[in-house]
């Protein structure tokens, strides 16, 4: 049931002066931030005065979904129908929706549309011919749809419709979700159930979820989606699956959402249609050209291919002694005639097991910079390792200058407590985007590079691994919805703040009640640091259990490849701990500009949150606090656990503001997080205490169990880790 039902039930109950249990309604989270909560009586009249009629002009699929969204939303918020007029005159309370082409009157208004480009919008309340009207205007239909969602957000977050004047245009061109969804319905690193793509009933059956997925993405400006896992099954390029993908593209098109596909580099030979997949082989080149043409016959506005090659066992041009550029360019040439782009992932490592994994991507791609076709983009994870709760930015940002870079974030919380831990990723994204690479002097932030300002390129992009699944609330927990939301908002404008976006999200997802909003926003903003404290204090990274990455495994050292082992990263022994990435170590620090090197080079001067990322220091290393590292570690772990307990107390005080079902789920998840924070703290301190051959610092409780207990914990069928 949903909030509209709840409001209507209360209306009925009130009419009968009744208040019964049956009128209490829970929310299941399906509506995400598009709940369109009926407005409080105090706001009703102001909004009604400004929204007496919607005026649309020419019809087309995108304007139709815009109209449906406005009708539906205001019916729910006002609990009455707002009439829709096809064109016609100006009147008080008219909401004029369209482009100068679709609704000519738009051209007569003072909206300075040209500067908004092809996706921007202007939503403005103004007096025209003596009437109070609201314009939702843009140069394109999709801009209009984005404007409608901006108008709705303004109302949902308590804005005054009579004072609205919002202009916005995206600062990044490609704003993409990457689904790591497999064709069998499993989702790699998925913690919200299974894949929402029901490949089996496609292309015949259109699940309502496909439409609501497109609505949600359009509401935050996401304009592209890669449907399948980067560990790609060759079958995705067969006719049967292209027909299925084409049906999804048809559904998504009115919402401005383009379909992309991950492809397996060895597809032609894996499908048995060529003898090899060597990019130098003319038959292979011809196969890809034909395949690209076939894809565009199915999906005329197809976005392009995403490729993970020669990484973690995936095939690639290296299998034939060809370079990443040779492979990428072959695919780019096949896509170019159709206007398609080729996104090549920079996530590669262990070409040589001896080198520091953190350095390998740049080592691999630096020599190739400048050799890629101009429709090739390089997709780079935010940090040099792998989506850790905290990483310094990847040195590729700043060092690769001739190839457009697509930022790759991870929304799904593979390393941040998965479904149940509360970790708002806004501050994590923000920390990376605001980092100054100094690549072209001060102000060369990662954000400026992603926006194509520092090194101009014809196309810019930002992507993130989705956390979406079949769970009713889409993301396996209400607070996980905030991470989908903040990614969309930051992809549109990387300079927006995590706090401001969290505030909008909280108001739309729960309530605008000021005390609740400020309390919950603060809890969200603190959440990643809380998690860092109990998982990776002082920059200690990749300390996770094997395979499913669920829970602590700092002792793991027996995996085939050295850089898969937590011990490779913690380097903990009797004398000290941390990964020396200075000149006398792996020298990974040399991949950064001198200004950035200066930030991290001195263990006594750097931001201690990165201490063990760059330095190997003794257990007695003196921290700025005057405490030793060993004392500091124990303090951080304890602080993380204490903060999770505090989150439970904070949440318990919010009961009055949240429906029973969502309140209870969040409460349960916070309890799990607290229990598991304790587990992380106890397991890590037990292990480090053993290798350091020293007891816990004074004043810190012994772990609940002996080290052996934590080493023996195994999990059966952990989610997100398909065989």
Footprint of its own copies (CB under 8 A): 1-2, 4-5, 8-9, 11-13, 16, 18-23, 26, 28, 68, 71-72, 74-76, 79-81, 83, 183-185, 193-194, 199-201, 204-206, 208, 235, 238, 240-241, 419-420, 470, 472, 661, 664-665, 668-669, 671-672, 716-719, 723
Contact 392, 613 (CB under 8 A): yes
Q: Is 414 a catalytic residue?
A: yes
Q: SS3 string of 282-330? A: HHHHHHHHHHHHHHHHHCCCCCEEEECCCCCCCCCHHHHCCCHHHHHHH
Q: Closest distance between its own copies and the C-beta of residue 200, in Å?
A: 5
The four Cα atoms 197, 199, 203, 209 give a dihedral, to 10 degrees, of -20
Please give the Cα distance from 16 to 424 (Å, whole number).
43
Min dist CB 397 to its own copies, Å, is 36
**Nearer Cβ to its own copies (437/673):** 673
> 183 or 491: whose CB is closer to its own copies?
183
> Which among 427, 418, 422, 450 has a CA at the least distance from the CA of 437?
450
312, 522, 602, 652: which is the annotated catalytic residue?
Answer: 312
3-state secondary structure of 555: coil
Distance of CA 124 to the CA centre of its chain: 30
- Residue 88 gets the label, from left (phi > 0), alpha (psi -120 to 50) or beta, of left
Minimum distance from CB of 574 to its own copies (Å)?
35
In the complex, least distance from residue 182 CB atom to its own copies, rounded to whole angstroms:
9
Q: CB of residue 491 vs its own copies: minimum separation in angstroms?
A: 29
For its own copies, give the closer residue by CB, 1 or 127: 1
Task: Compute the least distance from the CB of residue 56 to its own copies, in Å.
Answer: 13
Determine the Cα–Cα distance for residues 468 and 210; give it in Å rounded to an integer: 12
Q: Which is nearer to its own copies, 75 or 296 (CB)?
A: 75
- Catalytic residue flag (residue 129): no
- Contact predicate 670/552, CB 8 Å: no
Residue (238 or 702) nearer to its own copies, CB = 238
Exposure of 2 by Cβ count < 10 A (0-12 exposed, 13-18 middle, 19+ buried)?
A: middle
Question: To which H or E segment does residue 69 belong?
Answer: helix 61-78
Over the range 121-149, which residues count as b (16 or more CB within 10 Å of their CB) and which as e? bbbbbeeeeeebbbbbbbbbbbbbbbbbb
Catalytic residue of the set 27, 31, 360, 414: 414
Minimal CA–CA distance to 454: which of 426, 427, 435? 435
Residue with tokens 């009926």: 38
CB of 650 to its own copies, least distance (A): 20
Asked about 312 being catalytic, the answer comes back as yes
Nearer to its own copies, 23 or 283 (CB): 23
**Which of 181, 386, 471, 643 is flagged as catalytic?**
386
Nearer to its own copies, 238 or 293 (CB): 238
SS3 per residue for 693-720: CCCCCCCCCCCCCCHHHHHCCCCCCCCC
State the angle between helix axes of 208-219 and 478-492 in degrees (0 to 180), rounded to the nearest 10. 50
- The residues annotated with a catalytic role in the active site are 312, 386, 414
């Amino acid at each position: 049931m949903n909030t509209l039902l709840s409001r209507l039930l209360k209306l009925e109950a009130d009419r009968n002066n009744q208040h019964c249990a049956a009128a209490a309604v829970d929310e299941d989270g399906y509506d995400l931030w598009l709940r369109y909560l009926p407005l409080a009586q105090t706001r009703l009249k102001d909004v009604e005065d400004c929204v007496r009629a919607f005026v649309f002009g020419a019809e087309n699929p995108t304007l139709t979904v815009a109209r449906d969204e406005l009708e539906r939303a205001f019916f729910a918020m006002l609990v009455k129908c707002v009439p829709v007029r096809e064109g016609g005159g100006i009147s008080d309370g008219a909401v004029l929706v369209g482009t100068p082409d679709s609704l000519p009157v738009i051209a007569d208004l003072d909206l300075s549309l040209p500067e908004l480009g092809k996706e921007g919008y202007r939503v403005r309340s103004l007096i025209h011919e003596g009437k109070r009207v609201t314009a939702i205007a843009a140069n394109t239909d999709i801009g209009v749809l984005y404007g409608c969602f901006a108008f709705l957000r303004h109302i949902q977050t308590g804005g005054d419709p009579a004072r609205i004047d919002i202009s916005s245009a995206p600062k990044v061109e490609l704003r993409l979700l990457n689904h790591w969804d497999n064709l069998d319905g499993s989702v790699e690193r998925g913690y919200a159930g299974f894949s929402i793509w029901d490949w089996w009933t496609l292309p015949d059956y259109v699940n309502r979820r496909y439409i609501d997925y497109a609505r949600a993405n359009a509401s935050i400006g996401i304009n592209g989606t890669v449907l399948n896992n980067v560990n790609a099954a060759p079958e995705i390029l067969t006719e049967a699956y292209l027909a299925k993908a084409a049906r999804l593209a048809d559904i998504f098109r009115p919402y401005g959402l383009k379909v992309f596909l991950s492809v397996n580099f060895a597809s032609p030979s894996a499908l048995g249609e060529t003898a090899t997949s060597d990019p130098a082989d003319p038959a292979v080149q011809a196969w890809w050209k034909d395949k690209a043409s076939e894809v565009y016959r199915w999906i005329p506005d197809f976005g392009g291919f995403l490729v993970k090659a020669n990484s973690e066992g995936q095939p690639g041009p290296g299998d034939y002694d060809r370079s990443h550029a040779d492979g990428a360019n072959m695919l780019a040439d096949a896509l170019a005639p159709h206007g398609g782009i080729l996104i090549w992932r920079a996530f590669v490592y262990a070409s040589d097991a001896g080198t520091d994994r953190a350095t390998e991507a740049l080592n691999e791609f630096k020599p190739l910079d400048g050799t890629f076709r101009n429709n090739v983009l390089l997709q780079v994870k935010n940090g040099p390792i792998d989506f850790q709760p905290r990483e310094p930015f990847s040195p590729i940002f700043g060092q690769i200058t001739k190839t457009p870079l697509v930022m790759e974030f991870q929304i799904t919380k593979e390393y941040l407590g998965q479904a149940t831990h509360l970790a708002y990723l806004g501050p994590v994204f923000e920390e990376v985007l605001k980092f100054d690479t100094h690549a072209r002097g001060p102000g060369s932030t990662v954000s400026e590079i992603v926006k194509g300002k520092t090194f101009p390129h014809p196309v810019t992009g930002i992507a993130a691994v989705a956390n979406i699944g079949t769970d009713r609330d889409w993301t396996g927990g209400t607070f996980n919805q905030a991470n989908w939301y903040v990614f969309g908002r930051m992809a549109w404008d990387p300079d927006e703040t995590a706090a401001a976006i969290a505030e909008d999200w909280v108001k739309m997802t729960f309530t605008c009640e000021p005390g609740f909003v400020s309390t919950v926003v603060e809890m969200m903003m603190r959440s990643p640091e809380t998690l860092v404290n109990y998982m990776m204090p002082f920059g200690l990274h990749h300390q996770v259990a094997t395979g499913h990455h669920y829970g602590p495994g700092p002792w793991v050292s027996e995996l085939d490849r050295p850089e898969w082992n937590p011990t490779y990263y913690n380097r903990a022994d009797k004398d000290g701990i941390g990964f020396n990435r200075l000149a006398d170590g792996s020298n990974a620090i040399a991949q950064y500009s001198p200004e950035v090197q200066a930030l991290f080079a001195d263990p006594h001067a750097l931001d201690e949150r990165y201490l063990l990322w760059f330095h190997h220091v003794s257990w007695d290393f003196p921290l700025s606090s005057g405490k030793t590292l060993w004392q500091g570690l124990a303090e951080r772990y304890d602080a993380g656990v204490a903060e999770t307990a505090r989150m439970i107390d904070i949440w318990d005080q919010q009961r009055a503001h949240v429906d029973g079902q969502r309140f209870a789920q969040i409460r349960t998840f916070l309890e799990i997080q607290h229990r598991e924070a304790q587990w992380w703290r106890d397991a890590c301190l037990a292990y480090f205490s053993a290798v350091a051959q020293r007891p816990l610092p004074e004043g810190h409780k012994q772990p609940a169990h002996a080290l052996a207990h934590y080493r023996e914990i195994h999990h059966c069928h952990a989610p997100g880790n398909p065989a």
